[in-house]
Amino acid sequence: MSLENKKILMVVAPEGFKDAECFIPKAALEKAGATVQVASLRTGKATSDQGQGLSIDFAADEVKPHNFDAIVFVGGPGMVGKVGEPSFVDLARDFFEAGKLTTAICIAPVILANAGILAGKQATVHESAQSDIEAEGAEYTGKPVAQVDNIITANGPAAAGDFAKAILKALE
């Protein structure tokens, strides 16, 4: 499988993103030939909940969906307070409305719910946020990974490998 001409945007919290949810999909996408760039609230460096550093290429509010084929919102404790962040919510809505693959793992599917794009659709999320996505009209599946059309959601770090596979398959 080759994704040589594909560009993927990963979105992380500036502090406390979950290592497995970021680095497992990122490595799988890069191995398949995709270019992966990273956005957060500001440029510079983000730090995972395990202390791993990651360079941030863009501030979320300066990203244009037409430059990318997909977006991956990464969860983790640092994203808990950011699920209503306007620049993240707008980015999710903009990617979805542009017909781009729109994905999120762990707590991050709440961003998609807040953007209004999970209403009436099956989705999964970390169990602590089930009521958050249901409140926005999503149908919680409880599965590790759920896919409906061009939306993929996953429930946490244990699902990171299957989440990565679903993204790869959707981009083939």
CATH number, position 126: 3.40.50.880
Dump pLDDT digits (tens) for 11-65.
999 999 999 999 999 999 999 999 999 999 999 999 999 999 999 999 999 999 9
On whether residue 2 sits in a domain, the answer given is no
For the residues 126-139, what does the mean pLDDT come to?
Answer: 98
Q: Quote the pLDDT of residue 2.
A: 86
Question: How far is Cα 34 from Cα 170, in angstroms, rounded to an integer?
Answer: 13
Question: How far is Cα 124 from Cα 104, in angstroms, rounded to an integer?
Answer: 9
- pLDDT above 70: residue 1: no
Query: In whole numbers, what is the pLDDT of the chain averaged over residues?
Result: 97
Structure tokens at 121: 């659709």
On whether residue 1 sits in a domain, the answer given is no
The CA-CA-CA angle for residues 6, 59, 129, to 5°, reads 85
Q: Quote the pLDDT of residue 36.
A: 98
For the residues 3-12, what does the mean pLDDT come to?
Answer: 96
For the residues 86-106, what does the mean pLDDT come to?
Answer: 98
Report CA torsion sign: 104, 160, 142, 132. Answer: negative
On whether residue 106 sits in a domain, the answer given is yes
Strands (E), 74-138: 101-105, 122-123
Count of domains for the chain: 1
Question: How far is Cα 22 from Cα 38, in angstroms, rounded to an integer?
Answer: 10
For the residues 126-149, what does the mean pLDDT come to?
Answer: 97
For the residues 145-165, what does the mean pLDDT come to?
Answer: 97
What is the residue range of 79's domain?
7-171
Question: How far is Cα 80 from Cα 166, in angstroms, rounded to an integer?
Answer: 24
* Element housing 70 (H / E): strand 70-73
